[in-house]
Structure 1
Amino acid sequence: MDQDKRLHKQPPLAVRLSMRSECPYIAGRTEQRVAVDISQNPALHDQMARAGFRRVENWVYKPACPGCNACVPWRVDTANFKMKRNLSRIWRMNKDLKRHVAPISPTAEHFNLFKSYIGTRHSDGQMASMNHDEFVSMIENSPIESVLLNYINAEGKLIGTVLTDVQNDGLSAVYSFFDPAETKRSLGTYMIMDMINFAKELGLPWLYLGYYVEDSSKMYYKARFQPASVFIDGQWRSYVSPNKS
């Protein structure tokens, strides 16, 4: 049987298994990840994203936690998403904001906003010690099409940003940060809704929001964005809340 010789020209993928560490979502459990370097074959990204992987710089990763499969990839059906009353209120509250789509070239304003966000919201996390060069690398080091979605208020001030991957079937929210002083705006929620709208504008059916953990209060916000699909046992399935099953 003839084989496609192009298969033999692809460089081997570098695969790593991370060290075990404390799970940030479920107390008493251990976190571990399998990661794949796609820098030499970025065309694989979208295929792996559809298989539940997430991107960090040149790597895509997926949980490989011993004895646990609580993390499930979550993506929002952009065409059928409808704002409930509380989400509509947040949307109206931010009607003064403008979305600017920009290249992945972070400025000093981005870094200052990031440090303010991390210092207030995640001061005990791994990213709290990130310096300027590491921040720039996180943003710029992408082997695929990526953009910054910047949210500007009426005074021309940057108050929120989402590092966004553009896939052939959707957008993927890689990392977001915003002004922690703007608590009344619920910026994190607003930016997700606007990303859903942006995906619709581009004709893309999905917004990928990373992993969802049913028993983690840190993840409850994702369940506000439905209808959604979760990737379980090798296939995407419509999400059904355990309270409704």
Structure 2
Amino acid sequence: MRHTLPLAPQFYVTAPQPCPYLDGRVERKLFTALQGDHASVLNDALSKQGFRRSQNVLYRPSCAECNACLSARIRVADFKPRRSHRRILNRNRDFSRQATSPWATEEQFDLFRTYLGARHADGGMADMDVFEFASMIEETPVRSRVVEYHSPPTGRQNRRELTAVCLTDVLEDGLSLVYSFFNPDLHTRSLGTYMILDHIEIAREAELPYIYLGYWVPGSPKMQYKASFGALEIFINGEWQALDNPQDFKLDTHPLAQDPIPEQVAGIDLPDALTKS
């Protein structure tokens, strides 16, 4: 008898653990495997519902007493760079961009380790070795790209140095910035913001309507930079809503604000290709 995996995805919940964004909070994630012939279809559908990809897993925060992590995206057509954004673009005009297939290199890993050591030395990735790094980059069942940024040529060999990297998923309605890292010594370049601005331009050229930024967490200094972008939307109460004034946003922290897990799963809209027998 032939056995096959079920088309409809199965959802699970992680064990509670300390929140990496807000002190004294506990995080929990709702997740499902991303595999099979319909991986891209599932990734597209769940990205529109606040999920994020990590290798072959799609996840969304599902904390028992907190809903501070809000999926955020930029409306490309409505985005207008601020004066500070224009300065960052001009400051990095001498960089070159190269988009490649998701393949890890030693140069990427060296930059990744330097970035973690300066920015996230106590984070969950701090102990990641070269093999785990390669898995993060290469284990993708969907259409992904590694977007590299190089500095101007220097030295006798006229060599460009790798300064920033972004692992990017290409969705049917936008680009999802899965993970990015950069040279922390070039802090005056604002490379994190620059990569987002450059991806907005890539999406505009490709006529894709959205840039998916991951999660905006009100009250977390690590995530505050995302609120600096205009034309921002957040996924809340099952729909995308414009975030016109982030500083005025009030989060509902009532213990009953978060739906039980069964109701959350029941509310997920799955594509027809995964629900038909």
Range into which the TM-score falls when normalised by the shorter chain: over 0.9
Q: Percent identity?
A: 42
Normalization by structure 1: what TM-score?
A: 0.93
* 2:202 is the counterpart of 1:198: yes
What's the CA shift for 1:15? 2.7
Any residues of structure 2 matched to 1:182-221 within 5 Å, and which?
Answer: 182-221=186-225
Residue from 106, 109, 112 that aligns with 1:111: 109
What's the CA shift for 1:119? 1.1
Residue from 70, 73, 90 that aligns with 1:72: 70
Separation of aligned partners in 1, 2:246 and 2:75: 19
What's the CA shift for 1:184? 1.2
- SS of the residue 1:129 aligns to: coil
- Give structure 2 stretches of 5+ with no counterpart: 154-159, 250-277
- SS of the residue 1:79 aligns to: helix
What's the CA shift for 1:241? 2.1
1:5 aligned residue: none
Normalization by structure 2: what TM-score?
A: 0.83
1:3 aligned residue: none
Indicate the structure with greater strand content.
1
Per-residue CA deviations over 1:112-151 (Å, capped at 9, x if unaligned) read: 1111111111110110100011000000001100001100
1:20 aligned residue: 16
8-17 vs 220-229, which deviates more?
8-17
CA RMSD of aligned residues (A): 1.5
- Give structure 1 stretches of 5+ with no counterpart: 1-7
Separation of aligned partners in 1, 2:193 and 2:187: 11
1:86 aligned residue: 84
Q: Are residues 242 and 128 of structure 1, via their aligned partners in 2, closer, same or farther at CA, if it must alter by over 3 Å?
A: closer
Partner amino acid, structure 2, of 1:46: D
- Contact map agreement 2:147 2:168 (CA 8 A) in 1: yes
Separation of aligned partners in 1, 2:243 and 2:64: 24
Greater than 6 Å deviation, 4+ residue runs: none
Greater RCO between the two (CA within 8 Å, min separation 6)? 2
Separation of aligned partners in 1, 2:140 and 2:192: 23
* 2:41 is the counterpart of 1:37: no
Q: Are residues 242 and 102 of structure 1, via their aligned partners in 2, closer, same or farther at CA, if it must alter by over 3 Å?
A: closer
What's the CA shift for 1:16? 2.4
Separation of aligned partners in 1, 2:246 and 2:94: 37
- Contact map agreement 2:230 2:244 (CA 8 A) in 1: no
